[in-house]
Chain A
Amino acid sequence: MSETADPALRAQRAPGDQQLDGSRAAEAIRGYLLGLLLASGLTVATFYLADSTMVWRAAIPIALVVLAIAQMGVHLVFFLHITTGPESTNNVLALAFGLLIVFLLLAGSLFIMTNLDSNMVPLGEVMQMQR
């Protein structure tokens, strides 16, 4: 595809897409810097929260998971350049499907195995019964 006249379409492309001039390269570097800043902020927050007493102790793992998901979003947008642009539509749909599978795998495994764990007779007792 040749240069698109529409600046909005051009802006949605990843850096390195085609040749960059100086100003667009500077813009791209700013994008990566912003991503780095957000990601490291979220990372620092994760490690800080892990041994802080500010938050109710039992809520911290959930807060950490939320921070991790936020950071993954930052990585997707600023580093992997997943956007709402027309060239990204297929990628976003594939991502949505991937997330569905990941959710089913994680939630399904954890739910089923926890359920089995709490409902089945422990192995030691089974061996007692067989005696």
Chain B
Amino acid sequence: MTIGAAPSAAEPVPHRLGRDDDSVNRSRRETATGPPSKRVIVGYGFWIFLLSDIVLFSAFFATYGVLAGATAGGPTGRQIFDLTNVKIETGCLLASSFCCGLASIGVGLRNKTMFHASMAITFLLGAAFILLELKEFADLVAAGNGPGRSAFLSAFFALVGCHGLHVCVGLLWLLTMMAQVLAKGFRDDILRRILCFSLFWHALDIVWVALFTVVYVIGAMT
């Protein structure tokens, strides 16, 4: 405030009203403790990817919603959905999400046994989910209700298959993380990869919640 007619202390500059240096510094001290760690930034970047993935899924959901009634004389959802199978699949995925959480606590404790055991259970539950889904698909195709049967079935196979493909990629990633911890230990970069993996796995469970509600439960009702 040395150039021109600097306002005196008695008439403060408007944009500084109530924001004297002291209060600005104080609020800065209270809300942040310096630049965020690499871990926070990596998590944020991966979160952006997950959101874009969810936008991709919403396009598949919109397609399914539009085509759900276009059965072209073929079977409707009510006739082909087996809710018992869906209940088991949902249980598998939810339990695997929980085990994935336990694995990240194992990472926090730097406990390799807990990490590997939790990840192994996560893998088994995820693999069980995929096997059940593949069996459902195989049964549908064998009964002549493959994706080529009607627009409804095309949209169904695209949506559920896209989720299943994501779970398969997640399973591969899970094994990679187990191998990396085995070979390299809990290094900082490995920890960040595990963080991204657990975010990915939990996000897949969120997509499945939307999927089993909209496609299976509501589809089996109407």
Contact = CB atoms under 8 A, between A and B. Distances in A.
A91 B50 CA distance: 11
Nearest to B86: A47
Contact of B217 (A15, A28, A33, A64): A64
Contacts of A40: 91, 94
Given A61-B221, A86-B32, A17 B39 contact: yes
Contacts of B83: 47, 50
Contacts of A9: 33
A11 interface: no
Contacts of B47: 91, 94-95
For chain A, the bracket of interface size reads 35 or more
B104 interface: yes
Interface string B47-64: 110011011001101110
A1 B94 contact: no
Nearest to B210: A68
A47 B65 contact: no
A75 B200 CA distance: 12
A80 interface: yes
Interface of B is mostly: helix
A19 B62 contact: no
Contacts of B135: none
A97 B44 CA distance: 14
Contact of A71 (B31, B107, B209): B209
Given A28-B108, A60-B221, A64-B218, A15 B101 contact: yes
Contact of B202 (A51, A60, A71, A80): A80
B214 interface: yes
B44 A16 contact: no
Contacts of B220: 50
B105 A15 contact: yes
Contacts of A97: 51
Contact of B108 (A19, A46, A75, A113): A19
Interface stretch (B4-12, B162-170, B191-199): B191-199
Contact of A32 (B55, B102, B218): B102
B172 interface: no
B213 A102 contact: no
Given A1-B36, A79-B202, A28 B105 contact: yes
Given A29-B102, A43-B209, 9 more contacts: A14-B195, A16-B195, A36-B95, A43-B91, A47-B87, A50-B221, A72-B209, A86-B31, A94-B44
